[in-house]
């Protein structure tokens, strides 16, 4: 951390100290009141953060690191603390060692039933390095994005006394302007388990809109939040224009979160004449627009936290203080798994694994941790003890599972029989069975079960390894750029059911499995027992029936098993 040896910063420090005292003696807001946001404080923060002293806050500069520390201090004044297990809000980015850190603070849950889940409120704090020439060379970035940072601090302050069951996490992302460095690292380095993040509100430029209407974008995956915000906006009141810039979704820090299905939204303003110019100065911002936006975000976080049901019912686990403490590490595959869906499709992903976990927790008092494991690495992760269970382990079952017990393979036919390798093809495609595969161009994901299947069974197939989202691949198929997309039958069938332009060809039976180590008798026994019980319960039956009713029957009969 760099210290400032300037009188002005001493004054700032003193002002910050006083502000902290004033906040501390303010009465807690009543639960039904509108969250309290002070426009004057937002203006003061923007002026300070966009001052020439910060020199544009480029993420690889000393001032970028100074900006991170400034933000950590301000979040602390607003009542936030470092995440559990960390002693600082500064979270370094491992893959860019000289980068300013992400700034991550949170308001831990104070409600009666902590759910173990998180809502994120975010804003990037970095901007641009100084210009090479010109009289004014400093990109102050008052609107972009001192405004979002000031808004985020205001949201923390407004929610500091709320008793919510979720943790509210505030993230100042580093390196946004240089390629979403901080938000990508946040997910890749698992600052928080992605499966526990229930929503994200990102503010990037919230203080300059001549028509006074903030722009809100969320796309289909952010719909649950967009709907909520539209419902709440009249209470602030604030005018919004909704989903007018779908192309913005990949252009700020909500992008990486949306890509893996976390409901996320962006608050922003239209690009203006000072956008990414040295003239983006604090005297041009509208602190009232920023304050109304922050008020809406705070209100939405509060409302969302109270209305949403937990994704995984981990309350028995979180509340347990059982004598035989054991932590079970559950390996999950991040992309392309049936349960990995936005909260809007929750009924469908509260499937096998959630039921097993809840039942196991009740039976044993064990605690659970989630760990993301790449599909091709599941067997190895189990074998070397990195995880204790792998769910949806179809690829692990193919990749050689000596020493692993496939305890639960095919125990739930209505669910599991729909899993397995399959192809998504255009409706008029000549492919109707596995035997039609010859020299086709087929998109596969590295390490996925269908990729392995094709590699071992159909060496003539030209498999193109892709990283695009499924929607983009479906478009490539409809344009004829690809012949098929290999994926899990269940998710492909859901896709084909939504869009009659496609159909699904099954590639033979590969059982989905839940894997544990063969020598882990206590876990295997407990798993079998609690699953047996769960399967007999009326709730489980109802969940399976509902799921079976929703998923259509396979488009073609499964090829005969090898
Ligand atoms: Zn920005």
Separation CA 313–CA 294 (nearest Å): 30
Separation CA 478–CA 276 (nearest Å): 38
Separation CA 505–CA 485 (nearest Å): 10
**What is the three-class DSSP state of 340?**
coil
Residues across the chain: 562
Domain boundary among 254, 274, 307: 307
Q: Per the domain annotation, does 250 fall within a domain?
A: yes
Q: Select from 274, 150, 120 the least CA-distant residue to 208.
A: 274
Q: Per the domain annotation, does 388 fall within a domain?
A: yes
- Classify burial at 98, counting beta carbons within 10 Å of its beta carbon; exposed 0-12, middle 13-18, buried 19 or more: exposed
User: In this predicted structure, which of 151-160, 217-226, 240-249, 458-467 has the lowest mean pLDDT?
Assistant: 458-467
Is residue 43 scored above 70 in pLDDT? yes
**294 alpha carbon to ligand 1 midpoint, in Å?**
16
Structural domain that includes position 361: 315-416+512-550
479: CATH: 3.40.190.10
**394 alpha carbon to ligand 1 midpoint, in Å?**
41
Q: What is the pTM of this model?
A: 0.57
**75 alpha carbon to ligand 1 midpoint, in Å?**
20
Q: Looking at the structure, do residues 212 and 290 belong to the same domain, yes or no?
A: yes
**145 alpha carbon to ligand 1 midpoint, in Å?**
5
Q: Per the domain annotation, does 33 fall within a domain?
A: no
Kindly report, residue by residue over 63-100, the tens digit of the pLDDT: 999 999 999 999 999 999 999 989 999 999 988 889 99
Q: Looking at the structure, do residues 488 and 436 belong to the same domain, yes or no?
A: yes
Kindly report, residue by residue over 237-247, the tens digit of the pLDDT: 999 999 999 88
Q: Looking at the structure, do residues 323 and 366 belong to the same domain, yes or no?
A: yes
Mention every residue, 6+ apart, whose C-beta is less than 8 A from residue 343. 198, 199, 224, 263, 308, 311
Longest dimension (CA), the chain: 79
Q: Looking at the structure, do residues 412 and 362 belong to the same domain, yes or no?
A: yes
Q: Looking at the structure, do residues 92 and 194 belong to the same domain, yes or no?
A: yes
* SS3 annotation, 347-404: HHHCCHHHHHHHHHHHHHCCEEEEEECCHHHHHHHHHCCCCCEECCCHHHHHCCCCCE
**276 alpha carbon to ligand 1 midpoint, in Å?**
9
**335 alpha carbon to ligand 1 midpoint, in Å?**
27
**205 alpha carbon to ligand 1 midpoint, in Å?**
6
Q: What is the DSSP letter of 389?
A: E
Q: Select from 138, 102, 99 the least CA-distant residue to 123.
A: 102
**252 alpha carbon to ligand 1 midpoint, in Å?**
7
Region at 125 (left for phi over 0; alpha for psi -120 to 50; beta for the rest): alpha
Separation CA 484–CA 1 (nearest Å): 52
Q: Give the pLDDT score at 220.
A: 83
Decide if 533 contacts 525 (C-beta within 8 A): no
**29 alpha carbon to ligand 1 midpoint, in Å?**
31
Is residue 8 scored above 50 in pLDDT? no
Is residue 208 scored above 80 in pLDDT? yes
User: In this predicted structure, which of 62-76, 87-101, 177-191, 348-362 has the lowest mean pLDDT?
Assistant: 348-362
Q: Per the domain annotation, does 559 fall within a domain?
A: no
User: In this predicted structure, which of 170-184, 282-296, 312-326, 452-466 has the lowest mean pLDDT?
Assistant: 312-326
Q: Looking at the structure, do residues 530 and 473 belong to the same domain, yes or no?
A: no
Kindly report, residue by residue over 498-515, the tens digit of the pLDDT: 778 888 887 765 444 567
Q: How many domains does the chain have?
A: 3
Q: Looking at the structure, do residues 498 and 517 belong to the same domain, yes or no?
A: no
Q: Looking at the structure, do residues 189 and 302 belong to the same domain, yes or no?
A: yes
Q: Looking at the structure, do residues 455 and 386 belong to the same domain, yes or no?
A: no
**428 alpha carbon to ligand 1 midpoint, in Å?**
44
**346 alpha carbon to ligand 1 midpoint, in Å?**
32
**176 alpha carbon to ligand 1 midpoint, in Å?**
7
Q: Looking at the structure, do residues 98 and 122 belong to the same domain, yes or no?
A: yes
Q: Looking at the structure, do residues 373 and 433 belong to the same domain, yes or no?
A: no
Q: Per the domain annotation, does 350 fall within a domain?
A: yes
Beta bridge partners of 487: 422
Q: What is the DSSP letter of 435?
A: G
Q: Give the pLDDT score at 112.
A: 87
């Amino acid at each position: 951390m760099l210290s400032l040896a300037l009188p002005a910063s001493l004054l700032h420090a003193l002002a910050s100290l006083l502000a902290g005292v004033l906040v501390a003696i303010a009465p807690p807001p009543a639960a039904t009141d509108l969250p309290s946001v002070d426009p004057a404080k937002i203006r003061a923060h923007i002026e300070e953060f966009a001052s020439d002293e910060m020199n544009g806050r480029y993420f690889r500069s000393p001032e970028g690191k100074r900006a991170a520390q400034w933000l950590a201090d301000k979040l602390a004044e607003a009542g936030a603390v470092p995440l559990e297990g960390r002693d600082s809000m500064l979270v370094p980015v491992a893959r860019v060692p000289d980068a300013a850190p992400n700034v991550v603070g949170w308001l831990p849950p104070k409600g009666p039933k902590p759910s173990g889940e998180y809502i994120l409120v975010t804003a990037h704090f970095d901007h641009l390095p100084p210009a090479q020439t010109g009289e004014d060379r400093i990109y102050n970035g008052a609107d972009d994005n001192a405004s979002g940072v000031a808004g985020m601090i205001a949201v923390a302050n407004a929610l500091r006394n709320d008793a919510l069951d979720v943790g509210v996490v505030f993230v100042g992302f580093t390196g946004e302007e240089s390629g979403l460095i901080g938000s990508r690292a946040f997910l890749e380095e698992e600052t928080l388990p992605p499966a526990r993040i229930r929503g994200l509100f990102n503010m990037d430029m919230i203080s300059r809109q001549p028509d006074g209407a903030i722009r809100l974008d969320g796309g289909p995956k952010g719909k649950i939040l967009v709907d909520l915000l539209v419902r709440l906006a009249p209470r602030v009141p604030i005018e919004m224009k909704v989903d007018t810039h779908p192309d913005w979704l990949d252009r700020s820090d909500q992008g990486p979160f949306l890509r893996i299905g976390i409901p996320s939204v962006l608050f922003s303003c239209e690009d203006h004449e000072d956008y990414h110019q040295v003239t983006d100065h604090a005297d041009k911002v509208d602190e009232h627009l920023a304050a109304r936006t922050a008020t809406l975000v705070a209100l939405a976080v509060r409302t969302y936290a109270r209305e949403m049901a937990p994704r995984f019912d981990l309350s028995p686990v979180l509340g347990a203080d059982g004598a035989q403490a054991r932590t079970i590490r559950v390996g999950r595959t991040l992309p392309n798994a049936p349960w990995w869906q936005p909260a809007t499709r929750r009924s469908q992903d509260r499937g096998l694994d959630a039921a097993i976990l809840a039942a196991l927790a009740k039976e044993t008092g064990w605690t659970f941790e989630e760990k993301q494991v790449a599909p091709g690495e599941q067997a190895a992760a189990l074998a070397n003890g990195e995880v204790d269970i792998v769910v949806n382990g179809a690829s692990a079952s193919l990749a050689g599972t000596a020493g692993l017990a496939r305890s639960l393979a095919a125990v739930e036919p209505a669910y599991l029989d729909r899993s397995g390798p399959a192809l998504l093809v255009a409706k008029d495609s000549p492919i109707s069975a596995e035997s039609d595969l010859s020299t086709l161009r087929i998109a596969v994901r590295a390490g996925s079960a269908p990729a392995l299947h094709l590699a071992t069974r159909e060496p003539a197939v030209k498999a193109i390894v892709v990283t695009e989202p499924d929607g983009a691949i479906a478009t490539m198929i409809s344009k004829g750029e690809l012949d098929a997309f290999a994926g899990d039958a269940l998710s492909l069938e859901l896709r084909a059911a939504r869009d009659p332009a496609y159909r699904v060809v099954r590639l033979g039976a590969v059982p989905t499995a839940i894997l544990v180590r063969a020598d882990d008798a206590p876990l295997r026994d407990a798993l079998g027992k609690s699953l047996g019980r769960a399967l007999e319960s009326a709730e489980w039956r109802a969940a399976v029936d509902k799921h079976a009713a929703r998923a259509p029957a396979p488009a073609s009969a499964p090829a005969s098993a090898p």
